[in-house]
Structure 1
Amino acid sequence: MREIVFDTETTGLDPRSGDRLVEIGCIELVNRVPTGDVFHAYFNPERDMPAEAEAVHGLSSTFLADKPLFRDRASELIDFIADSPLVAHNAGFDFAFLNCELEQCQMDAVDRARMVDTIAIARRKHPGAKLSLDALCSRYGIDRSHRTKHGALLDAELLAQLYVELMGGRQIGLELAADAEVATVRVSEISVTRKFRAPRPHVASEDELARHAEFVDGLNEPIWRR
C-alpha cells in the first residue's frame, strides 16, 4: 500500500484571504515504511511574508524571491502524489492550501476522501491529550531535537514516524502479502553441522552423597522431621 505523508508551510492561515503556500514536503511510504522517495519544493508566493509567519518557519520574502511559482511545479507534484492517500497533521489546513493553489492553476482539486488526518487518529487513541506534533513526538519517543523551526520536509519526516506509531508501530511492516517478494526458508531445508559433545554426568558421587547427608543431619529441626 502506497501512502504520502506531507506537510506545508504558508504565509498565513487562510488561503481564501490571500495567504499562499510557500513550501511542501512529501514522504512516500509503502506498507508504512519510508522508501526514501520524496518531493520537496519552495514556492515564490508573489506577495510579502508576514513577520508572524516568518517567525514560525523562517522563510523570508528574500529567500523565496528566486523560487519557482507553484504552477511551475504543480504537475510534478501531482505526478508524485498520484492517487495515493494523503496523510497530514490537521489535514484540513494543508488540503485547503493545496487545493486553493491547484484551483488557481486551473487544475483539479485533490479529493478530500483521500485525506488521512493524524490529529483525528491521535484524538481517538489519546482522548484529552495534547495533539500537537511536538507533544505526540514526545509521547512516542520520536527525536525532534534537530527541529528548531517548522519546515515542511522535516515535519513530514517526523509525521511519517508518528503515523507509523499511531497505526500500531513497526510490527505492521511484517505483514506478508501473497504477491510480496519474500524469501522463505523452511526449517526442513536447513542443514546444520554441529560438533558432537558427550553428555555430562549428572549423578552425584558417593563422596557428594555422604557430604550431603552430613549437612542434612546438622540442620536444626528440619520440618520433615516434625
Structure 2
Amino acid sequence: MKYFIMDESLNEKIIGSDFPQVHKFIKGYDEDASNALFSLYKYKTTFPDYTPNLDGVKLAGYAKLTDFISNGFSNRLRIMSPRAKAVLGQYNLCSHRFYPLGLYKRKIRHDYFLFHIVSDYSDFVDYERTSFQEYDLISGYKSESFFVHSKKEFWEKRDAIEAEKGISWGIWGDKIVMSKGFDHELDFFVISILDGNTYVSERLKNAIETAGLTGWEFTPATNLIVED
C-alpha cells in the first residue's frame, strides 16, 4: 500500500492567518480540572475511563473553520468536524477514541470532536534495514545516514548522543523499513520514538480529498517502506 505524510495546512486562504487555529480555551473553562483536556496528556499508551470535558476551545481570532483544526496542545490530539470523523471512521485507524468537543468562533458553538490516538509501531521497524541520522532540534543539523541492529541499540545510541551533546540532540529515522509483522491494512498511524510523522494510506487520502475535507495536506512518504 502507498502511504502519504499528513501535515496540517498552512494555507491562509484555507485556515486563515492564525496557526495553530486553536491554542486557547473559552472564558470559564477549568484547564486544571481532573477531566479537562490537559488530563489526557498522561494517557500515552492507554485511554482514560472517563469522557473528558472539552467544552470548550476557542478558535483564534483570524483563523477559519476547517474540517481538521490545527491545535497547540498535542499531535496525539486532533480536532475535527463531524464530517471528518465520519470519513475516518470508515477506515482502519490506529488505536483511538473520539470525544465530543465544543469549538467556539466568536461565541458561537460548533460541534466538533477530539481524535485521541495511541500509536506506537516502533516494535515493527526492521532496525537492521532502517537508516538513521543524528539531528539537532535547535540548529536543524542532520548527520550522514547510519545503521543500528536493534531497538535496544537504537535506544543506547540515542541516550549516548543526548548525554554527550545535550537534550536537543537525538536520532531520527531516515529511510524506515517496516517488518512483515506490521499491519499492512492500517490507514492512519504514527510510528513513534524514531519518527514524528503521521502516515495516511492512499485510499484514506483519496477519500478525504474526494469528500472535500479541509485542513490537512499530504506528501508522498518516500521515507517509508512497507513491504507486502
Higher relative contact order (CA 8 A, sep 6+): 2
TM normalised by structure 2 equals: 0.25
Bigger strand share: 2
Structure number with larger C-alpha Rg: 1
- Structure (1/2) with the larger helix percentage: 1
